[in-house]
Amino acid sequence: MDYRTLNFSHNEFYLIGFTSLNEFRQYLFIPFLILFVFQLSANGIIMFVVIKERKLHAPMYILIGFIAALGFIQPLFLLPRMLVSFLFGKNMIYRNECLIQMFCMHMAGLFQSSILVMMAVDRFFAIIFPLQYHDFVTFKTSLIFCLFLFIRNLLYVTSMVGLIGPLYFCKSNEIYHCVCEHTSVVNIACGDRTKNYMAGIIGFSLTTSDCVFIFCSYVVIFVIMSRSPSGESWHKAIYTCSTHLMAMFVAFLSVVGAFAGYRISTIPKDLRVICTLGYLVLPNCFNPVIYGMRTKEIRVQIVKYLSSNKVNLH
């Protein structure tokens, strides 16, 4: 059937994730509000410190600042609508608004992955080639690498969301999710959706390739540093890289869970939604702790600012 001949497509969607909880759904407002406040405050502090302190204007700290910026911005276009939905049951979202949210959400997700790749490259040269670090990691090479990843992400996400534009939603307008996640929206569309599903697989492949690259680079670091006669260097490498691997593992495990949830019918819908929120929300909570508080230079500056403010109050 050519659904275009029906001349009808829903212009309003309803995000009905967790409605199986019935009256208990409204209590989800509390944990997600706590997460929202924590993400804004923790990432905001990291951003402030990185911007304020000139000694932190080095590549590694700037990347941490970018992660904090994503962790501050992403919740602003995801969580407020979710909180309203949980508390008041207002689940409606316009189609164009849904597509904008999808674009921003997936763009931010890919950029998180890209920043972790850049951090892995930075750590590789800093630990393996400390004397030649400034020869390899220059402003020009960093800019070229960042530009390549930016163009890659922009082309992919624009194409993915653009493929949804021509789709017709003539059967259902209920999306069992809390956000306009790509596959959830595609699943309720009419007609041929092969290209859309292929776009989803390509997105999963991009994230997977980033994670494989990060993992392999850290394995190389661990292997080389294990042969170093200096035990201090080995412990420094473990301390620095293990936190990055933990962050990557949590995010990637959630991505795999969400990806599998759409393709294995026995997986509960709510578990799939939790997995999606896992890679959208949890990294923004972990990153300030992993990259901020566990980075000595940033931790020292945070303590200094908090101490000075406490003295001023007294």
pLDDT of residue 216: 87
Which tens digits make up the pLDDT trace of 1-45? 554 545 567 889 999 989 888 888 999 999 999 999 999 999 998
pLDDT of residue 199: 92
Task: Copy the structure tokens of residue 212.
Answer: 């494989």
Which CATH number characterizes residue 89's domain? 1.20.1070.10
Number of structural domains found in the chain: 1
pLDDT at 312 over 70: no
The terminus-to-terminus CA distance of the chain in angstroms comes to 74
pLDDT of residue 5: 46
Q: What does each C-alpha distance from 197 to 18, 33, 194, 244, 262 come to in angstroms?
A: 24, 33, 5, 30, 11
Domain extent, residue 61, equals 3-313
Neighbours of 251 (CB within 10 A): 23
Which tens digits make up the pLDDT trace of 242-277? 766 777 777 778 788 787 877 787 888 888 888 888
